[in-house]
């Protein structure tokens, strides 16, 4: 086992990894920008190293600074968290070249899944159901029109190098194709430095269902059920639950098995998430994330596992402790993402937290790196806390969420807490009756 690991991240996810490492008796190294000298992850780690100025490009995304921090502190492995360098295959290659260990999959797997066309091709070959679409890149309008006729409108045009919900254009009919296609390509080029786009059938009212998988890198893998993350704003998840309100045991087993077998057959190592759109009982693969997800705690809650400890164990070359027979769903879990944002426009609201009180009690988990007097810097993501509740069933989880939100106090900055209080009063939310467009149309109405 490693004696010391470095966490190449900040905020709640850095703390999450530090907690797992501490319980495993592993020393931790935090890295931070000059804007984060007072951050909680810096205080909680055994050692901390400043790696640059506030701008992420010069600190949390600086590969030389992070590798140097490892060399200076003697850390043997790097946990990337999510975001920043977590899906950067070049980073993984450099880590390996320095005889360090990356806590995550291989550079090759990250690369395959990072290119959406290659990812889709690979998944199709592995027997994972995909959205009908172009076989690969579509580089001319003629070809786009021809394929669109075959698949049928509406069509979504997506950037192969896209991510974070950006780089997608919808064409409802042939008359919209020319504009949508040209804009999609030029936006893909300016946003991601790669103009390549591909076509997919646009699904009207799907849910976003994702399957958590975990592999040992040696041909064994398990699935840990699904998460329903359909409540999204601008393709960003805001509320997630597990199990999915519309997924039963048989459906879970069938899709779970397909996913676990797919990743096992490529010797995938560590945690991964296979994302699907789900409509009329059919799953359609959209992408695979080769890292820990923000919403992983709801899976941990219902399966009673610690995914981060398992990631560290597998990266250290120890056998995976998860076995499919032992993984049984227990109850229901919900996560809400609390952002420092001002409603109704969700504009970022950095600043000083004048008062903070965390909720507690049975089945309540708050993953956060804020504290009384903390100043939220303006340079990073606006997520300040994840409130996760776990209870025996969905109605009990909703009641617990309402109760826990009532206890949570974050003063001094605007937050998205009022949004969740309102959502919990909505009939559709209470019934689990929503799809990926529900939240945006509700926000438009309210």
Which residues lie near ligand ADP (CB under 6 A)?
A: 131, 156, 162-166, 168, 200-203, 208, 232, 235, 275, 277, 286-287, 436
Q: Rounded to whole angstroms, how far apart are CA atoms 385 and 337?
A: 6
336/398 with CB nearer ligand ADP? 336
43/235 with CB nearer ligand ADP? 235
Is the separation of the CB atoms in 118 and 110 below 8 Å?
no
* Pairing relationship of beta strands 383-391 and 101-102 according to DSSP bridges: unpaired
Q: Rounded to whole angstroms, how far apart are CA atoms 310 and 125?
A: 28
Taking the complex as a whole, the smallest distance from the CB of residue 130 to ligand ADP amounts, in Å, to 10
Q: Rounded to whole angstroms, how far apart are CA atoms 27 and 25?
A: 7
Taking the complex as a whole, the smallest distance from the CB of residue 11 to ligand ADP amounts, in Å, to 20
| Secondary structure (DSSP) of 1-34 | --SEEEE---HHHHHHHHHHHHHTT-EEEEEEEG
Instruction: Kindly tell me the burial class for residue 199, based on how many C-beta atoms sit within 10 Å of its own C-beta (0-12, 13-18, 19 or more).
Output: buried
Is 291 assigned a catalytic role?
A: yes
47/115 with CB nearer ligand ADP? 115
Q: Which of 296, 151, 162 is nearest to 235 (CA)?
A: 162
Catalytic annotation, pick one of 10, 207, 252, 291 = 291
Q: Rounded to whole angstroms, how far apart are CA atoms 429 and 416?
A: 17
131/307 with CB nearer ligand ADP? 131
How many CA atoms lie less than 13 Å away from 338 in the CB half-sphere? 27
- Structure token digits, residue 443: 């926000």
Taking the complex as a whole, the smallest distance from the CB of residue 413 to ligand ADP amounts, in Å, to 27
273/311 with CB nearer ligand ADP? 273
116/365 with CB nearer ligand ADP? 116
Is the separation of the CB atoms in 424 and 394 below 8 Å?
no
* Pairing relationship of beta strands 77-79 and 155-163 according to DSSP bridges: unpaired
Which SS3 state, helix, strand or coil, does residue 201 take? Answer: strand
| Secondary structure (DSSP) of 148-181 | HHHH-SSEEEEEEEEETTEEEEEESSHHHHHHHH
Phi, psi of 170 (to 5 degrees): -105, 135
52/206 with CB nearer ligand ADP? 206
376 alpha carbon, distance to own chain's centre: 22
Active site residues: 291
């Amino acid at each position: 086992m490693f004696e010391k690991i470095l966490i190449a991240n900040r905020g709640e996810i850095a703390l999450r990894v530090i907690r797992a490492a501490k319980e495993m008796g592993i020393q931790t190294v935090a890295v931070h920008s000059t804007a984060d000298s007072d951050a909680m992850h810096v205080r909680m780690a055994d050692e901390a190293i400043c790696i640059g100025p506030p701008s992420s490009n010069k600190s949390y995304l600086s590969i030389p600074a992070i590798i140097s921090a490892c060399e200076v502190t003697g850390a043997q492995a790097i946990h990337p968290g999510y975001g920043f360098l977590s899906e950067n295959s070049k980073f993984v290659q450099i880590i390996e070249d320095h005889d360090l260990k990356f806590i995550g999959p291989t550079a090759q797997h990250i690369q395959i899944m990072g290119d959406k066309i290659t990812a889709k091709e690979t998944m199709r070959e592995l027997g994972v159901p995909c959205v009908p679409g172009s076989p690969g890149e579509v580089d001319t309008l003629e070809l786009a029109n021809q394929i669109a006729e075959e698949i049928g409108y509406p069509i979504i045009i997506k950037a192969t190098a896209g991510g974070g919900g950006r780089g997608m254009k919808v064409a409802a009919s042939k008359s919209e194709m020319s504009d949508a296609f040209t804009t999609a390509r030029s936006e893909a080029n300016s946003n991601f430095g790669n103009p390549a786009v591909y076509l997919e059938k646009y699904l009207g009212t799907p849910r976003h269902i994702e399957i958590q998988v975990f592999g040992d890198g040696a041909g064994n893998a398990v699935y840990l059920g699904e998460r329903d993350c359909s409540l999204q704003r601008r393709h960003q998840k805001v509320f997630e639950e597990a199990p999915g309100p519309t997924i039963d045991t048989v459906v879970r087993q069938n899709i779970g098995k397909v996913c676990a077998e797919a990743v096992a057959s490529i010797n995938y190592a560590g945690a991964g998430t296979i994302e699907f759109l789900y409509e009329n009982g059919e799953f359609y693969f959209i992408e695979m994330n080769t890292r820990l997800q923000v919403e992983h705690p709801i899976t941990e809650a219902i399966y009673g596992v610690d995914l981060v400890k398992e990631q560290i164990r597998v990266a250290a070359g120890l056998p995976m402790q998860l076995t499919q027979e032992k993984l049984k769903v227990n109850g229901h879990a919900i996560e809400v993402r609390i952002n420092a944002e001002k409603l109704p426009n969700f504009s970022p609201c950095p600043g000083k937290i004048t008062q903070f009180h965390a909720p507690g009690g049975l089945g309540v988990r708050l993953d956060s790196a804020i504290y009384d007097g903390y100043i939220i810097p303006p340079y990073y993501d606006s997520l300040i806390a994840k409130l996760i509740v776990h209870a025996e069933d969905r109605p009990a989880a909703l009641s617990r969420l309402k109760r826990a939100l009532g206890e949570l106090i974050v003063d001094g900055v605007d937050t998205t807490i009022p949004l969740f209080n309102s959502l919990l009063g909505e009939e559709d939310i209470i019934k689990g009756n929503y799809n990926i467009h529900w939240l945006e149309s509700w926000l438009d109405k309210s």
